[in-house]
C-alpha cells in the first residue's frame, strides 16, 4: 500500500488598491520560524470545516482588518513541491480590487505589520509569493482589456480622468482617451452626478458613479470591450 498523502491546502490573497495615481498591493510582514522577517501576501491554511473562499476571506480579515465578501480565484500553486520548506503545501490564490482609500488596515494575529506597497516597489516576498503576484498582475491587465472592471478600484464618485489614468497606470500604456470615453459612456454603465470635484483649480468637473445594475446586465450578455492605445 502506497504512502498516504500529507499535503496541506492554503489560500493567499492578492488585494489590489489604487491611490494617488498608482497601483498598490496589500502585504503583511511575518516571522517564519527564525529571526528573519519577510513580507508576504495575506493568507494561511484552510480549516477542515471551511470552504476555500471562506478561508481566504477569514485570513484577510484576521491579518489585515480588511473585510471583503468576494474574491475571485486566480490560480493554484503546487507544482514546486518545495515551495514551503516546512511542509508540502498547495496554495490557491485569490485576487480582489478595492478602493484603498476606504479601508482601514491593521496588523492582527500572526502579522506583525500590514502595508500598501506600490506595484513597482515590491520587495522579495516569502515562498513563491512574487510569482503569485506576477500572475495576479497579468490577470488584471488581461481582464482590463476586455471587461471594464476598474471601477472597483475607485471611490463611489470619481472624475472621468481618474478612470482614464487608472487604465493607463495598470496597462502601462497611454490609451486613446477620446475613444475610451466614447466607448465607456455608450454602455450606460456610468452616470454623471450633480456633484463637482473638490479640486478648485481650473474649470469645475462633474463626478461620475458606476451603475452596477447596468454592468451586471452587460456581464450576463457578454462584454466586448476593446481598448485602443495612443
- Say whether pLDDT at 97 is over 80: yes
The sheet that has 206-210: what strands, in order across it?
157-158, 206-210, 190-196
- Say whether pLDDT at 224 is over 80: no
Q: Does domain 145-221 have CATH number 2.60.120.620?
A: no
Q: Does domain 7-143 have CATH number 3.40.50.2300?
A: no
pTM of structure: 0.91
pLDDT digits (tens, 9 = 90+) for 32-61: 556 578 899 999 999 999 999 999 999 999
- Give mean pLDDT, residues 59-67: 94
The C-alpha atoms of residue 120 and residue 134 are separated, in whole angstroms, by 11
Residue 170's φ and ψ, nearest 5 degrees, are: -70, -45
Residue 38's φ and ψ, nearest 5 degrees, are: -135, 145
What is the DSSP-derived secondary structure letter of residue 13?
Answer: E
What residues contact 163, with CB distance under 8 A and at least 6 apart?
A: 150, 151, 154, 184, 208
pLDDT digits (tens, 9 = 90+) for 120-160: 999 999 999 999 999 999 999 998 888 888 888 999 999 99
The C-alpha atoms of residue 113 and residue 146 are separated, in whole angstroms, by 36
User: What is the pLDDT at residue 203?
Assistant: 75
Query: Which one is predicted more confidently, 224 or 69?
Result: 69
The C-alpha atoms of residue 100 and residue 97 are separated, in whole angstroms, by 9
Q: Report the range of poorest mean pLDDT among 16-25, 94-103, 175-184, 197-206.
A: 197-206
User: What is the pLDDT at residue 1?
Assistant: 54
**Paired residues of 72 in beta bridges:** 95
User: What is the pLDDT at residue 198?
Assistant: 81
User: What is the pLDDT at residue 77?
Assistant: 95
pLDDT digits (tens, 9 = 90+) for 19-34: 988 999 999 998 655 6
In the chain, CATH 3.90.79.10 sits at 7-143
In the chain, CATH 1.10.10.10 sits at 145-221
DSSP 45-82: EPPTTS-HHHHHHHHHHHHH----S--EEEEEE-SSTT
Amino acid at each position: 500500500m502506497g504512502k498516504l498523502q500529507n499535503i496541506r491546502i492554503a489560500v493567499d490573497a492578492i488585494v489590489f488598491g489604487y491611490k494617488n495615481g498608482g497601483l498598490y498591493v496589500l502585504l503583511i510582514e511575518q516571522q517564519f520560524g527564525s529571526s528573519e522577517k519577510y513580507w508576504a501576501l495575506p493568507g494561511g491554511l484552510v480549516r477542515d470545516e471551511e470552504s476555500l473562499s471562506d478561508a481566504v476571506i477569514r485570513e484577510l480579515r484576521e491579518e489585515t482588518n480588511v473585510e471583503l465578501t468576494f474574491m475571485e480565484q486566480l490560480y493554484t500553486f503546487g507544482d514546486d513541491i518545495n515551495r514551503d520548506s516546512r511542509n508540502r503545501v498547495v496554495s490557491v490564490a485569490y485576487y480582489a480590487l478595492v478602493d484603498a482609500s476606504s479601508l482601514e488596515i491593521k496588523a492582527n494575529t500572526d502579522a506583525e505589520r500590514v502595508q500598501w506597497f506600490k506595484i513597482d516597489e515590491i520587495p522579495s516576498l516569502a515562498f513563491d509569493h512574487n510569482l503569485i503576484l506576477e500572475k495576479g498582475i497579468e490577470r488584471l491587465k488581461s481582464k482590463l482589456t476586455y471587461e471594464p472592471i476598474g471601477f472597483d478600484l475607485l471611490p463611489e464618485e470619481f472624475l472621468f480622468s481618474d478612470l482614464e489614468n487608472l487604465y493607463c497606470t495598470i496597462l502601462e500604456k497611454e490609451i486613446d482617451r477620446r475613444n475610451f470615453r466614447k466607448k465607456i459612456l455608450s454602455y450606460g454603465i456610468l452616470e454623471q452626478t450633480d456633484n463637482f470635484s473638490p479640486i478648485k483649480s481650473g474649470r469645475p468637473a462633474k463626478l461620475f458613479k458606476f451603475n452596477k445594475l447596468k454592468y451586471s446586465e452587460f456581464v450576463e450578455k457578454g462584454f466586448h470591450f476593446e481598448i485602443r492605445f495612443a
